[in-house]
């Protein structure tokens, strides 16, 4: 069965620290990869996505992610976090062209000012 695993459940950082959130997936075929973010009190929003091409993907607000096919990983990074990045982050995969998303359990990021 398809699954997504996020290694960090709760991360606490100080402002300006670097961030890396791990994501691994289990699926044998071609997938599209996503990171979604949910700010407090808001709906899920797309942070970035990978469909094909350059495995290093840049998203909004300075986030980026790297797809490493051999490791079935799609880790999220940001060089310097801000207090406003406090949110819950979800990694998701979608079997190619179905649109159906399989989500990880999420990582709560708390950034201290």
Partner 1 sequence: GAGVSQTPSNKVTEKGKYVELRCDPISGHTALYWYRQSLGQGPEFLIYFQGTGAADDSGLPNDRFFAVRPEGSVSTLKIQRTERGDSAVYLCASSYSEGAEAFFGQGTRLTVV
Out of 7, 11, 20, 44, the residue judged to bind partner 1 by CB under 8 A: 44
Q: What's the N-to-C CA distance of the chain in angstroms?
A: 41
Query: Quick check: 52 binds partner 1 (CB under 8 A)?
Result: no
Out of 25, 63, 67, 90, the residue judged to bind partner 1 by CB under 8 A: 90
Residue pair 59/47 in contact by the 8 Å Cβ criterion: yes
Out of 12, 15, 16, 46, the residue judged to bind partner 1 by CB under 8 A: 46
Residue pair 106/88 in contact by the 8 Å Cβ criterion: yes
Least distance in Å: CB of 113 to partner 1? Answer: 25
Comparison of 1 and 70: residue with beta carbon closer to partner 1: 1
Query: Quick check: 59 binds partner 1 (CB under 8 A)?
Result: no
Compute the distance between CA of residue 87 and CA of residue 70 in angstroms, rounded to an integer.
29
Footprint of partner 1 on 2-31 (CB under 8 A): 4, 6
Residue pair 65/50 in contact by the 8 Å Cβ criterion: yes
Q: What angle do CA 71, 77, 48 make, to 5 degrees?
A: 85
Chain residues that interact with partner 1, rule: CB under 8 A = 4, 6, 32, 36, 42-46, 49, 90, 92, 94, 96-106
């Amino acid at each position: 069965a398809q699954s997504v695993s996020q290694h960090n459940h709760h991360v606490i950082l100080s402002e300006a620290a670097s961030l890396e959130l791990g994501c691994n997936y289990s699926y044998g075929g071609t997938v599209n990869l996503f990171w979604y973010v949910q700010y407090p009190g808001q709906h899920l929003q797309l942070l970035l996505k990978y469909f094909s091409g350059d495995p290093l993907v840049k998203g909004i607000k300075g986030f980026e992610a790297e797809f490493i096919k051999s490791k079935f990983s799609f880790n999220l990074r940001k060089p310097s976090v801000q207090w406003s990045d406090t949110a819950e982050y979800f990694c998701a995969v979608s079997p190619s062209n179905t649109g159906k998303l399989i989500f990880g359990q999420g990582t709560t990021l708390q950034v201290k000012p």
